[in-house]
Structure 1
Amino acid sequence: MTRISVVTGASAGIGRAVARRLAARGDAVALLARGEEGLEAAAEEVRRAGGTALPIPVDVADHAAVDAAADQVEKELGPIDLWVNDAFSSVFAPFLEIGMDEFTRTTEVTYLGYVYGTRAALSRMIPRDRGVVVQIGSALAYRGIPLQSAYCGAKHAIQGFTESVRVELLHDKRNVHVTMVQMPAVNTPQFRWVLSRLPRNAQPVPPIYQPDLAARAVEFAADHPKRREYWVGGSTALTLAANAVAPGLLDRYLARSGYDSQQTPDPRPEDQPANLWSPADGPGGQDFGAHGDFGDEAKNRSLQMWASQHHGLLAGVAGGLLAGAAWAALRR
């Protein structure tokens, strides 16, 4: 039976990689995004991978449009089994250099876009009592960093919103699940088209991971959605642990390092596109694909992610080793 999956932000970056990954396992994939060039290219990749593609141009900040897209998916493909929220926008600048209209727009896309997508999915899944929603999160859902106040605020909001919805589903004993995947810095094209007022090119904070790794994590979460969230990458685990234990120390560390670590040595081009208000891959624009410019240093494997996905196995092995050591000690 073919699974019906929806991916927002599917025209580039993690969303694009997730769409390919789901197609490779035979899903019919509805791709939601604004950029027509990226959408069509993503749809072609889905078809080449063996899946059925349904590209739908939509701005996730428009609730009615998102709901209409969900209707279209169910009419043309069938009942939605999986909804992946990934669409986002951002502004790289100190808080006082971000216009309030820009802050509002980032919040509408990055936070409310998830709210609208989750509502569209759950309103259809709950009556059938089956389905999964995966929220693409970030270490920044727990730990704010400088120069990304709008994005960090939105990711924190998604975290709280998702927890609330998850508990409601548990209370009602629904067979519908919402899980979140907290990502590290990922080599996506966003750094080519994010609205930036930084003097130098924006970059992900190292260590950097490939979007293909992120896509594998999303697929695993979709197939094991009873787990409340997953962490991807050792840097994510270390950041969240440090923030829980010594947030003030982390404040001071980020105050010293957070500006330089988010910029390359190269000056930012004056003509760099910005996709906050309109897609950089709109008509006549460029297809940016899944990968960014940092492939030479990006990792495609994570021991931490494997351990996170197999913690039961590791606990069993550790328990067995302890039991064996105890038995050996008793026989002495």
Structure 2
Amino acid sequence: MSKPKNVVITGASAGIGRAVAREFGARGDNVALLARGQGGLDAAVKDVEAAGGQAMAIATDVAEYSEVDSAGRQFEAEFGPIDVWVNVAFTSVFAPFEKITAEEYRRVTEVSYLGYVYGTMVALERMRPRNAGTIVQVGSALGSRAIPLQSAYCGAKHAINGFTESVRTELMHEHSNIHITIAQMPAVNTPQFSWVLSRLPNHPQPVPPIYQPEVAARAVVFASDHPRRKQYWVGASTAATTIGQKAVPALLDRYLAKTGYASQQTDQPVSSNRPDNLWAPRDAERGDDYGAHGIFDKRSHGRSPQLWVSQHARSTSIAAAGLTVAALLTRVRRT
């Protein structure tokens, strides 16, 4: 049996981060759980331990560098050097750009982009002396192709791609044994659609095809074990947006302008005053836990042929070609 790894996960109290924590726990790893909400953190500890790992919950706002740095120090003091750091934490606003305030835009950027920067900084500060370690960024199809109503989130995801590419090439220049990679996510069935700040008339939804958080979690763990490729595509929407952006961006603009509003909302009205997690966590109280899954279980896939292609292709170019075929096959099965 291999030695347990020491893993840090931001945004670990719910959604993809929660599923990732369970996946690493099932391998017997030691997992640091970073998030703001105590209720979700407490439940995540139980998940990791039930799966077979050890867990340390550290209440952390990733928009504050000092808190992220303190969390890294606490975890290493208890378990030793960090082997893997996974950046997942984010927040967002569903609204047209003109209806988002400057303060809200700054908050989304601080959490969803600078949170990744701070996490990467803290990880590298601890990995450099040993010249070993892996950083996995949880990206998004929306980092390749932006859509309406999510300008703050899309901007952050685009920024993560550019930031990560820059850091990767610096590590390559240094001939470093530290690796950084991105798992590019499709639409995932997480609780975010029930707690994100929204100014839409109807309940927000992920744009189909939708995948379960466990698909995302398997991708992240695989990427942590095979980090030399710069990115992994996880689902059909990830592949389709990337391919479409490169092939016919103008046509894609017109298509999204026409369909992007309706496709991101259900037919269920929702109050514009519903509680959200932009400024404070929804799971702040003990026992208040949202778990990994959102409300779209019946519409979500538990497997992804695109992830299989991305994992097994020998090169990025071969993966891209395979993703094109896999995306087309997925579309054929849905029609």
In structure 2, what is the Cα distance between the partners aligned to 1:247 and 1:64? Answer: 40
In structure 1, what is the Cα distance between the partners aligned to 2:183 and 2:211? Answer: 14
Aligned residue pairs: how many? 316
- Equivalent positions of 1:199-238 (< 5 A) are 199-238=201-240
- Equivalent positions of 1:98-113 (< 5 A) are 98-113=100-115
Task: For residue 143 of structure 1, report the CA deviation from its aligned partner.
Answer: 0.7
2:15: which partner in 1?
Answer: 13
1:327: which partner in 2?
Answer: none
In structure 1, what is the Cα distance between the partners aligned to 2:269 and 2:236? Answer: 30
Q: Would the aligned equivalents of 2:8 and 2:86 in 1 still touch at CA under 8 Å?
A: yes
In structure 1, what is the Cα distance between the partners aligned to 2:223 and 2:27? Answer: 15
TM-score where L is the length of structure 1 = 0.93
Q: Would the aligned equivalents of 1:142 and 1:240 in 2 still touch at CA under 8 Å?
A: yes
In structure 2, what is the Cα distance between the partners aligned to 1:134 and 1:284? Answer: 29
The answer as to 2:134 corresponding to 1:132 is: yes
What amino acid is aligned across from residue 264 of structure 1 in structure 2?
Answer: T
CA RMSD of aligned residues (A): 1.4
- Equivalent positions of 1:28-177 (< 5 A) are 28-177=30-179
What amino acid is aligned across from residue 260 of structure 1 in structure 2?
Answer: A
Q: Would the aligned equivalents of 1:192 and 1:272 in 2 still touch at CA under 8 Å?
A: no
Comparing 306-315 with 126-135, which one deviates more in the overlay?
A: 306-315
1:325: which partner in 2?
Answer: none
Matched residue SS, 1:56: strand
Task: For residue 32 of structure 1, report the CA deviation from its aligned partner.
Answer: 0.1
Q: Using a 3 Å threshold, how does the CA distance of structure 1 residues 10 and 219 change in structure 2: closer, same or farther?
A: same
Q: Would the aligned equivalents of 1:184 and 1:209 in 2 still touch at CA under 8 Å?
A: yes
What amino acid is aligned across from residue 208 of structure 1 in structure 2?
Answer: I
Task: For residue 235 of structure 1, report the CA deviation from its aligned partner.
Answer: 1.9
Gaps of 5+ in 2: 319-335
Q: Would the aligned equivalents of 2:201 and 2:271 in 1 still touch at CA under 8 Å?
A: no
In structure 1, what is the Cα distance between the partners aligned to 2:143 and 2:172? Answer: 22
Task: For residue 236 of structure 1, report the CA deviation from its aligned partner.
Answer: 1.0
What amino acid is aligned across from residue 239 of structure 1 in structure 2?
Answer: T
2:250: which partner in 1?
Answer: 248
What amino acid is aligned across from residue 60 of structure 1 in structure 2?
Answer: V
What amino acid is aligned across from residue 141 of structure 2 in structure 1?
Answer: A
In structure 2, what is the Cα distance between the partners aligned to 1:162 and 1:239? Answer: 20
Task: For residue 312 of structure 1, report the CA deviation from its aligned partner.
Answer: 2.7
The answer as to 2:274 corresponding to 1:272 is: yes
The answer as to 2:11 corresponding to 1:2 is: no
Task: For residue 270 of structure 1, report the CA deviation from its aligned partner.
Answer: 5.0
Q: Would the aligned equivalents of 1:35 and 1:279 in 2 still touch at CA under 8 Å?
A: yes
What amino acid is aligned across from residue 24 of structure 2 in structure 1?
Answer: L
Task: For residue 269 of structure 1, report the CA deviation from its aligned partner.
Answer: 3.4
What amino acid is aligned across from residue 16 of structure 2 in structure 1?
Answer: I
Q: Would the aligned equivalents of 2:200 and 2:272 in 1 still touch at CA under 8 Å?
A: no
Give CA deviations for 1:74-99 in whole Å, capped at 9, x if unaligned. Answer: 00111000000000000000001001
Task: For residue 273 of structure 1, report the CA deviation from its aligned partner.
Answer: 1.6
Matched residue SS, 2:113: helix
2:193: which partner in 1?
Answer: 191
Matched residue SS, 2:314: helix
Task: For residue 109 of structure 1, report the CA deviation from its aligned partner.
Answer: 0.2
In structure 2, what is the Cα distance between the partners aligned to 1:219 and 1:73? Answer: 19
Q: Would the aligned equivalents of 2:90 and 2:111 in 1 still touch at CA under 8 Å?
A: yes
In structure 1, what is the Cα distance between the partners aligned to 2:209 and 2:287? Answer: 30
Task: For residue 272 of structure 1, report the CA deviation from its aligned partner.
Answer: 2.4
Task: For residue 271 of structure 1, report the CA deviation from its aligned partner.
Answer: 5.1
In structure 1, what is the Cα distance between the partners aligned to 2:57 and 2:181? Answer: 24
What amino acid is aligned across from residue 71 of structure 1 in structure 2?
Answer: R
Indicate the percent of aligned positions where both proteins have the same amino acid: 62
Q: Using a 3 Å threshold, how does the CA distance of structure 1 residues 107 and 230 change in structure 2: closer, same or farther?
A: same
Q: Would the aligned equivalents of 2:145 and 2:242 in 1 still touch at CA under 8 Å?
A: yes
Q: Would the aligned equivalents of 2:16 and 2:292 in 1 still touch at CA under 8 Å?
A: yes
Matched residue SS, 1:258: helix
Task: For residue 63 of structure 1, report the CA deviation from its aligned partner.
Answer: 0.3
2:324: which partner in 1?
Answer: none
Gaps of 5+ in 1: 316-332
Q: Would the aligned equivalents of 1:181 and 1:217 in 2 still touch at CA under 8 Å?
A: yes
